[in-house]
Structure 1
Amino acid sequence: MSDELLFMDETEDEVVGERSNWKVLIVDDEPEVHAVTKLALSDFVFQDKGIEFISAYSGAEAKEIFLTHNDIAIVLLDVVMETDDAGLQVAEFIRNDANNHFTRIILRTGQPGQAPERDVIINYDINDYKSKTELTAQKLFTVVIATLRSYRDIIVIEENRQGLEKIIAASADLFSIHSLENFIDGIVQQLSSLIGGTQDAAYITSAVAGPRPIDNEESSQFYIFSGKGDFANHEGQTLDAVLDGEQLASCNKALEDQDIVYQDEYLVAYCNSKTLNGSLLYLSGLPRKLTPTDKHLLQIFSQNVQIAFDNVLLTKDIEDTQREIVERLGQALERQMGGGKHIQRMTMICELLGREYGLEKEEINILKLAIPLHDVGKLKIPEAILLKPGQLNDEEKEVVRHHTEFGYQLLKDSRRPIIQAAAKMARDHHEHWDGNGYPQGLKGDEISIFSRITALADVFDALQARRCYKDAWPMEKVLENIQAQRGKQFEPKLVDILLDNKDKLEAIAVAYPDDLAIQQDGDGHDSP
């Protein structure tokens, strides 16, 4: 072959390589075979893609190439090169060492008797076996077309398999999210995995977060529920206040058709719901043109998103219901004992102590929900004792002490984690770290962490607030008293946390003051 022909082939390689082409690796120790193969397929086009040729002149060189290229469609592989079985070793390497089961291997040999076709086909994972003498230009063209079709179909199947795995993983992640705040983060993260990322995202729904009075009907207006990027500062605003023109028209079309509307740089996906009027998932800044596989995955994902969102709303509604019932019961208890903001302050103080102590978020949520019930046993204490001005006598103190057991008996039979926690807190919040408390004389870690936190918060708030039997103590005196009980009544670590956060505690007292009537009347006695 002439140098001119070889030069022209290299120039053609550079031009074709600029496009998105099928990669074909030629492995042969004869340069003429490379030149003839490239010439025979120089004008080859399949599905609007040409061929990008890669050349290797030995089995060892071919192995190196497969370590850096994982998207080779076809390898035209000579059998005899530096050794009599070099090509067969490359075939073994591709399938076993490189773990590549997608590349189609066409074995070409000039010495068929050296590697009999029957034995090779049976013993090696190759896709075709050809003698160099029978591969005319037309036959080579036919073989490459047929092999590329096979490779294309295998890649489509693999992409669908990977897409299915991503959908399953995305669904699992979304269904594990129980926080509305984390919901849109989960969506964007999973979509980045599916289609390569987006710049801006918004979840648009007719579900209005917040209180709904019983005489208000559910709104049919759509709101930006949560957003990222350009939508981050528009949460809670109506759809038509944030989008206009073509974008708003696309949203309305997605709602009307209950389908996905695709545009060049954004898409709007309708998400069907059994409980709402449906929702929209708006994505802009798409990284590339979406393929049919991308669109199919998005269709599935958009439906899973809505199911997950409905699940989040249901979980939130249940938690809000539990919280409201407990809070209203706690407020009713406070009103019976004279009122005040003791429960609100206790909740804030316990949350601060629990967070600084290192409790998990779920534990802190249980603690906050259970706090309003820590004194529920006082419902069985006569009001004459609870609201008695001045100090109690010994007999009255003993009556008050029984509120711990009353509260425990009232709550202990529940199987709900929040009520179980509240039962222990009701019974044990007068236990002391050194074992000198009541009703059981528990000591140290025998007392649950919830009860230890409640005990400290309860005494701290009782001392700094005015009660019917005492005036409010100045903060300095309160902290001195708490410090004096470090390692006695209270766990040392919790006392240190409280003292380190005295400014935050004072801010809580200022933010939740007792009203004027409470300042005059005080609230109920608590046993020391």
Structure 2
Amino acid sequence: MSDEILFAEDVEEEIMECHGKWKVLIVDDEPEVHAVTKLALSDFVFQDKRLEFISAYSGKEAKQIFIDHKDIAVVLLDVVMETDDAGLQVANFVRNEAMNNFTRIILRTGQPGQAPERDVIINYDINDYKSKTELTAQKLFTVVIAALRSYRDITVIEENRIGLEKIISASADLFSIHSLEHFIEGIVQQLASLLGGSKDCAYLTSAVAGPKPIENPNASELFVFTGKGEYESREGERLENVLSGKQLLSCKTALANKSLVYEDEYLVAYCKSKSMRGSLLYMSGLPRKLTNVDKRLVEIFAQNVQIAFDNVLLNKDIEDTQREIIERIGQAMEDHFSEGKHILRLVKICELLARKIGLSEDDVKMLGLAVPMHDIGKFKIPEVILYKTDKLDASERKIIQNHAEFGYTLLKNSKRPLIKTAALIARDHHEYWNGQGYPRGKSGEDIHIFCRITALADTYDALRHKRNYKEAWSLEKVMETIHQQKGLQFDPTLVEVLQENIALVEKIVADNPDPE
């Protein structure tokens, strides 16, 4: 038998990788309490997260920390500090002033008689009450574990609530591009919550859509449509500029194989599309490995969210077609009446004024689509009168004024809201605030806001540019004339809004000059 001593090979202990930290606030005026608490919980790990300790030595200091940190999971709170009820005041501040219902409050006191447990539990929204003498290291470990589980569940429920709220708020007008962005954002947040609170995620697509249009000459390229966390401000950027290395390779793999790719810290889900190459959902910062249930949830999401996206793109295509037809009609009018880029400038100025007075984006869109047809009735005016350079006589002015009713008659019988709006603008954009306009002598707010905006924008642009009967006026002369007509021809509020935003209006004029 050999005398040689054999040693078993050392097995390296597996190092647990932690994802993030739980913030624990220690509030106590005794420094040794902080030291002992940190020592007792030094090796604490819950759901692959360690603890991050924050110390406060007075109630006042604790309140400021709660203002600065919105994500404190647990507070170990002493009662008696600078005053006998300083801790209770902190608890009251957290719940009733900071409106923080998520942080778990564990009251620790060395003098239970000064803050009887029954009274404290009834009168304050705290989650646990312990005497310092009974709180051994093991009991402290147990208390913190229970508190963190509660905090985790409450925050997940809150994230689900926020996601569901966004989905519900978007469902009424799901098929408008503006609300689609919020709808997808809500879905992503909901899914992230169900997976345990994913930190960063992005929805990438080759579609040219959204409130920030993506210039995409190559339909095979993917762009960020909407994002959360790290990708929240990356809308419109190419995939290659947002991700790199292994993450970028995973995205390309998921897109090429039309599959889902799972890694420890992130996932990429392919979203099938009938109308384009497809889209990707990228999520990083996963708090844990995904279960089979999680993966199935992601698959269901990926299959269904793209259907909604495709439907909205179809709706957008219809809307763009409608806009193009109307713009072409407006362009034909410009060419026929030799008005250069008057229609283009008019649309932009009207939209600007509408936004500045607080109209909804739907109203701004409707006005912008309808206003190109404001002078469509001029097609029925004899050219000899329309292009006359000399002063018109009374009968000729009457004929010119008839274009308002002509345009209204041409459009009024449509059942489409857009055409009905255009008919209203065509008829009433020559009405005056004081009732001295035509064709019906309307006044004040009886004139639709669309018509009041069009009247001001139309006059402004016409005066600023050359016509067959006049030269272009200077900005000073135009604004002097408009101010003289404030409360007479024009809505006084709109005149003020025009003056306040004159630099933006003049930029529209400068960016869209008439051809030489």
Q: Shorter chain as normaliser: what TM range?
A: 0.5 to 0.7
Shift of 1:199: 3.9
Task: Report the secondary structure of 1:391's partner residue.
Answer: coil
Quote the residue 2:463 is aligned against.
463
Shift of 1:167: 8.9
Task: Report the secondary structure of 1:203's partner residue.
Answer: strand
Check whether the contact 2:347–2:371 (CA below 8 A) recurs between aligned residues. Answer: yes
Task: Report the secondary structure of 2:281's partner residue.
Answer: strand
Task: Report the secondary structure of 1:348's partner residue.
Answer: helix
Flag the 1:505–1:242 CA change in 2: closer, same or farther, 3 A: closer
1:296-335 to structure 2, matched below 5 A, reads 296-335=296-335
For normalisation by structure 2, the TM-score amounts to 0.63
Unaligned runs of 5+ in 2: 1-39, 48-101, 103-156
Per-residue deviation, residues 277-304 of structure 1 (Å, max 9, x unmatched):
3221111122333344433332222223
Quote the residue 2:421 is aligned against.
421
Quote the residue 2:181 is aligned against.
182
1:439 aligns with 2:439: yes
Distance 1:442 1:188 in 2: 50
Quote the residue 2:367 is aligned against.
367
Task: Report the secondary structure of 1:358's partner residue.
Answer: coil
1:398 aligns with 2:398: yes
Per-residue deviation, residues 190-211 of structure 1 (Å, max 9, x unmatched):
3344334444333233434579
Flag the 1:164–1:234 CA change in 2: closer, same or farther, 3 A: closer
Shift of 1:441: 0.9
Flag the 1:403–1:309 CA change in 2: closer, same or farther, 3 A: same
Per-residue deviation, residues 476-507 of structure 1 (Å, max 9, x unmatched):
22112111111111111112212222222222
Task: Report the secondary structure of 1:427's partner residue.
Answer: helix
Aligned length: 385
Shift of 1:315: 2.5
1:342 aligns with 2:367: no
Distance 1:167 1:185 in 2: 8
Distance 1:170 1:230 in 2: 20
Check whether the contact 1:166–1:193 (CA below 8 A) recurs between aligned residues. Answer: no
1:474 aligns with 2:477: no
Check whether the contact 1:167–1:301 (CA below 8 A) recurs between aligned residues. Answer: no
Check whether the contact 1:390–1:468 (CA below 8 A) recurs between aligned residues. Answer: no
Percent identity reads 52
Shift of 1:475: 1.5
Distance 2:240 2:223 in 1: 9
Check whether the contact 1:463–1:472 (CA below 8 A) recurs between aligned residues. Answer: yes
Distance 2:435 2:169 in 1: 45
1:501-516 to structure 2, matched below 5 A, reads 501-516=501-516
Shift of 1:388: 2.5
Check whether the contact 1:350–1:368 (CA below 8 A) recurs between aligned residues. Answer: yes
Task: Report the secondary structure of 1:274's partner residue.
Answer: coil
1:263 aligns with 2:270: no
Shift of 1:458: 1.1
1:166-205 to structure 2, matched below 5 A, reads 172=168, 176-177=173-174, 178-179=176-177, 182=181, 185-205=185-205
Indicate the larger mover: 271-280 or 182-191.
182-191
Flag the 1:229–1:385 CA change in 2: closer, same or farther, 3 A: farther
Quote the residue 2:452 is aligned against.
452
Per-residue deviation, residues 333-354 of structure 1 (Å, max 9, x unmatched):
0100013111121112111221
Flag the 1:470–1:239 CA change in 2: closer, same or farther, 3 A: same
Aligned partner of 1:457: which letter? A
Aligned partner of 1:248: which letter? L
Aligned partner of 1:297: which letter? L
Indicate the larger mover: 169-178 or 476-485.
169-178
Task: Report the secondary structure of 1:487's partner residue.
Answer: coil
Distance 1:165 1:274 in 2: 31
Check whether the contact 1:166–1:194 (CA below 8 A) recurs between aligned residues. Answer: no
Check whether the contact 1:174–1:187 (CA below 8 A) recurs between aligned residues. Answer: no
Distance 1:242 1:407 in 2: 51
Distance 1:303 1:166 in 2: 23
Distance 2:287 2:272 in 1: 26
Unaligned runs of 5+ in 1: 1-13, 22-69, 71-160, 517-528
Distance 2:493 2:233 in 1: 40
Quote the residue 1:108 is aligned against.
none
Task: Report the secondary structure of 1:388's partner residue.
Answer: coil
Flag the 1:350–1:278 CA change in 2: closer, same or farther, 3 A: same
Indicate the larger mover: 392-401 or 469-478.
392-401
Q: Cα RMSD between the aligned structures?
A: 4.5
Flag the 1:460–1:366 CA change in 2: closer, same or farther, 3 A: same
